[in-house]
Structure 1
Amino acid sequence: MLKPIRNKEISHLDRACLWLDNPGGGAFLEHEAGKAGQIGINPDIIRPIPSLTARAIQLLQVLGVGLSKIYNDERPHAEKLFYIPGRGFKLPPPKCNMWKVNLCLNSFCEIINTPIDKKGRRWYIRVHEMRKFFLLITHRHYGDGSKELLRYLAGHADRRNIDDYTAYDISDAEAIRYESECIDDKLIALELGVLTKEGNDGLVALHAEALKHFDATSISTISKSEFMKYLDKVGYRSDFDMKTYSIRLENYDAEVYAIDFAIKLGERKDEKYDK
């Protein structure tokens, strides 16, 4: 994990983005804070990063300095951290697009051998996936008391923006209704028989209530946008709660774990809710 950072922020990092000479020690990353300014002008922020990340940045700095000298490149892009040659070691293009960073991530995933599912598909991590996961899971573990720290790390200028990741009411265009979509997926899986009713009493209760609310016979027949709004409202109810737990993914031969949700609605709750 680099830090909670956006796609555009990482692809536009300057080579001189690393701060090491600090009175309190540690390593810091300087970058433009997207969506934090006015009329398209965003401020630069400095945030702490792991020492391993700092070492990786140093290696990219050495590589970039050497390559720019070889190419005799004096363009502004020659001062960027992700100074990546084109195919056949051609002169790097005038800007670094996110797909170039994704290629690096793909190579990293292949080197560390991230899991391959039973259909032969490798899991390739993405920047926003890491950002979202960090903010959501940290908040899930430490609660609302962690919001100010998460806002600081994410570079949110508005304190309300962190709710885009930790609450149901999503207003940031880049955010994903992660929890709501997970519930939707579980309800569909319940209808299709992928999940059994046994051990999922809270989910069954929510399924029945949702069908009654929309006067429908199947969740799949309900408008996606309308159903997300419904889940938003359910999430704020005092008789509804969710807890996270780890689950082993069965479509991988290796031991691969993901985060799942246990639901409580009124007096009815999933078996995993109390575990």
Structure 2
Amino acid sequence: MKLSPEQRIQLHGFNNLTKSLSFNMYDICYTRTKEEREAYIEYIDEQYNADRLTKILTHVSEIIGAHVLNIAKQDYVPQGASVTVLVSEGPVVEVPKASYEESPGPLPDSVVIQLDKSHITVHTYPEYHPDEGISTFRADIDVSTCGEISPLKALNYLIHSFDTDIMTMDYRVRGFTRDISGHKLFIDHDISSIQNYIPEQVRDLYDMIDVNVYQENIFHTKCKLKQFDLDNYLFGYTKDSLTPEQQAQITDSLQAEMNEIYYGKNMS
């Protein structure tokens, strides 16, 4: 809904609040041999190479209504990739629509053109345990904006851009802006949880924990996929090729790994 001139906060100068979203995702896989582990890493490295990550971040820029100024990207040896996109706030002509994109968020219908520099970055970290058959792929995405455009607008798209077992998300508003009377505004939108910006059908798929510091405008949410199907965690074969004992052992290993990542501590 477009705000009327009476409803909109009148600012002194331009909006220079910094809104930062850190989105971390993890994909877990069980690989029985060194060859399978290396094949998994190679597969992940190709699936999320610098070119594909650039497309994802470019679309994030479109969703939040930012203009791309510059892109730097790099594929690393032996694995991993990084992309950095420098963007600026600009007029929102049209926000892309798709089934996986949602409307919630403090993004207004139009914004004033300013040269407020912002950035979007992604780094990937494929790795595997040397002994226990657990392979992990992590992607870290940071979306930092200045002004009225909001990184929360792209959260649902980011969730659907990766095959995600576990997610951790941090959102913070820094700095302040002033209204026309000089009164400081340390936040310019209502938020009680990052979950407010995740569609209900997505929230239903995950167990979620919030750790928020409201008085500091700091919000943290972590998510773990509820349903577990062993076939989704085997690389190159299915559970039918395993004995019941093997299935149970692998299931225990995978769930232990996921719980350790989710709770952020070693449990064994």
TM over 0.5: no
TM-score when normalising by structure 2: 0.24
Q: Which has the higher contact order (CA 8 A, sep 6+)?
A: 2
TM-score when normalising by structure 1: 0.24
More helix by share: 1
More strand by share: 2
Instruction: Find the structure with the greater CA-based Rg.
Output: 1
